[in-house]
Amino acid sequence: MTYDLVATLRPLLAAEASAEAYVSGGEPGDLEQAVWLRLLERLETDGPPPDPPGWLREAVRAEARRCRHITRRERPYDGEPADLLGPGPEQHALTAARHRALRRAVRRLPGRCPRLMEALLSPKDLTYREIAGELGISQGSLGPERSRCLGCLRRLLTPEVAACEPRG
């Protein structure tokens, strides 16, 4: 009896849940699951409904109303409570390791690149004019020089940061 009822109501429930879920702001699968639970509860207490399709439509609408009510009252967090505390010690350690790897790679660059990259990475936040004056090069050649140095730096860092891919 119960299997026949479920098999008969399944397509109707899927259609009703799809139609109501969009309006209620929920997921059709969640709505279907809630209605199946209500049907099981009803079968345990009162037995099968006299008009199963009518009962199912009303149950879907009631669950959709409940979902709308909950959605209106819920307020999202501004962030996870753990995120509000700031970065943890693990994040600080990883950031420091990345900075050390970058500084090591910058020191291995050829020509004027180490001085240029150190000036660009400076916490003083130097302008191009200040960097050009400090390095004794024209401001117009700073962009192309920076581009070449970044290309070299990228090639140096690629083996260090490349993800290991599974073989096979």
Average pLDDT over residues 79-105: 80
Dihedral sign for Cα 82, 86, 87, 88, please: negative
Q: Which spans in the chain are helix H?
A: 2-24, 28-45, 52-73, 81-84, 89-107, 113-120, 128-135, 139-161
Q: How far is Cα 58 from Cα 53, in angstroms, rounded to an integer?
A: 9
Q: What is the mean pLDDT of the chain?
A: 84
pLDDT digits (tens, 9 = 90+) for 12-59: 999 998 888 877 777 888 889 999 999 989 888 998 888 989 999 999
pLDDT digits (tens, 9 = 90+) for 62-81: 999 988 888 888 777 666 66
> Model pTM?
0.45
Is the pLDDT assigned to residue 86 strictly greater than 90?
Answer: no
Domain ranges of the chain: 2-73, 89-161
Q: How far is Cα 25 from Cα 72, in angstroms, rounded to an integer?
A: 10
Q: How far is Cα 160 from Cα 97, in angstroms, rounded to an integer?
A: 12
What's residue 69's pLDDT?
86
The architecture (CATH level 2) of 89-161 comes to Orthogonal Bundle (1.10)
CA-CA-CA-CA dihedral for 137, 139, 143, 145, to nearest 10: -10
Of the pLDDT bands very low, low, confident and very high (cuts 50, 70, 90), residue 8 is confident
